[in-house]
Structure 1
Amino acid sequence: MLEYVILGLLGLRPFSGYDMRKWMEGKGQYVGYGVQLPQIYRTLAKLVDRGWIEFQVDSREGKPDAKLYRLTDTGRQELVAWARSPYEPSPRPMDPDFMVRFVIGGALGRDIAIALLRTELDYRRTQASNQNWLDFAHTPFEPVSEVDEAWVRELHWTAHERGYASTAAYIAWLELTLARLEIADGTTPTRGPR
């Protein structure tokens, strides 16, 4: 996924590896995809080898020279192909891959962002309607003597409530965002099953 984060950033403007890391720690932190600088540099080298990006050395007064990377035509085509490729939601709600696809891939077109939102929202609605998350209440335990089984069940219950509440809030955000983008696109917002 880091490859496409990098390609997406370079679709906005040229970046150095260091500036990419600063973006990921700062303005891009909401995307939820953080990596260390060595990973960025290794990935940049791979992308240069593939011909997806190129660089030129930027001489900086009083500072070390920097490589400024930019997309090649091949890299741009790869980015567009990835953004338009089928999206398969993760079973884990709020997986960072969705947000990367939404922010990075969605930058290439409103239709891409809306399609991603619809896919993610449909999946999460179906997932939330499945009440199997309550099955843990009937799990047999044989705890060690220091563990109070009733207390463990209470802790598990609260953890599951937190997960369910987080997922419900995430679904609400998906619904609001989809409606907002559809209105901005001039279409009537879709309403799915609740």
Structure 2
Amino acid sequence: MKFEYVLLGLLARRPYSGYDLRKWLEVEGQFLWARAHHSQIYRKLGQMEADGWIRHEVDAREGRPDAKVYRLTPRGREVLLEWVRSPYEPPSRFQEIDFLARFSVAAPLDRDAAIRIVETELDHRRAQIARNRHRDRTLHYDDPLPELDQDLDAQVHQTLHQLGAAAMDRWVAWLERTLRNLTEGKAVQ
């Protein structure tokens, strides 16, 4: 997933300065895009403006440097909606930024697109569970290091599997609840 779509999604809500985008991403958006550096934000804004997706106005600020405040252009709106409505390909791991960002931007813009995204993610995760939940997880050793505690290794392996399976089950339950709420026109919880 490309960072510019996250920025377009934010600008769909309201105009932002680069500084305000960075602040939002660090606090409210910390689960949508990890560690966006200010240079990355300004570089993307410059590229998006050159592509005609956004434009800026200068906001004169007394006692502080003037700020460029960015807003979507009609072309930026088209690009954003094309992305929202494009096919979603689930990443190999669940709860990745690809899903979280796409869903958070799509849901308020196009409920039907959000439903398709959730359905795709849910189908993919159910198939992963079906393939992997009951597979043989026996560890095999061939000339292991003498320091390797095989009993502890097996315990750790089993515990991590249980942790991952429980997390996947919670994720699937959330997807099912979210899909039901979206299709019934209820608030997403």
Give the TM-score of the pair, scaled to structure 1. Answer: 0.89
**Pairwise CA distance, 1:139:** 3.3
Is residue 133–residue 165 contact of structure 2 (8 Å, CA) maintained in 1?
Answer: no
SS at match of 1:29: coil
CA distance in 2, matches of 1:163, 1:142: 28
**Pairwise CA distance, 1:32:** 4.9
Alpha carbons of 1:35 and 1:102: their partners in 2 closer, same or farther (altered >3 Å)?
A: same
**Pairwise CA distance, 1:27:** 1.9
SS at match of 2:82: helix
**Pairwise CA distance, 1:20:** 0.7
* Deviations 1:142-182 (CA, angstroms, capped at 9, x unpaired): 32111111111111111111111111100000011111111
* Deviations 1:54-110 (CA, angstroms, capped at 9, x unpaired): 111111111111110111111111101111111111111111110111011222111
Alpha carbons of 1:42 and 1:141: their partners in 2 closer, same or farther (altered >3 Å)?
A: farther
Alpha carbons of 1:132 and 1:181: their partners in 2 closer, same or farther (altered >3 Å)?
A: closer
CA distance in 1, matches of 2:23, 2:162: 35
CA distance in 2, matches of 1:71, 1:32: 20
**Unaligned runs of at least 5 residues, structure 1:** 186-194
CA distance in 2, matches of 1:68, 1:149: 59
1:99 matched to 2:94? The reply is no
Listed as ranges, the matches of 1:10-89 within 5 Å are 10-89=11-90
SS at match of 1:67: strand
Give the match for residue 124 of structure 1. 125
**Unaligned runs of at least 5 residues, structure 2:** none
CA distance in 1, matches of 2:133, 2:31: 30
SS at match of 2:64: coil
CA distance in 2, matches of 1:159, 1:115: 31
CA distance in 2, matches of 1:33, 1:181: 27
Give the match for residue 161 of structure 1. 162
Amino acid at match of 1:2: F
Give the TM-score of the pair, scaled to structure 2. Answer: 0.91
Aligned structure 1 segments of 4 or more residues deviating by more than 4 angstroms: none
Is residue 31–residue 97 contact of structure 2 (8 Å, CA) maintained in 1?
Answer: no
Give the match for residue 3 of structure 2. 2
Is residue 22–residue 36 contact of structure 2 (8 Å, CA) maintained in 1?
Answer: yes
Amino acid at match of 2:108: A
Give the match for residue 174 of structure 2. 173
RMSD of the TM alignment (CA)? 1.6
SS at match of 1:184: coil
Listed as ranges, the matches of 1:108-119 within 5 Å are 108-119=109-120
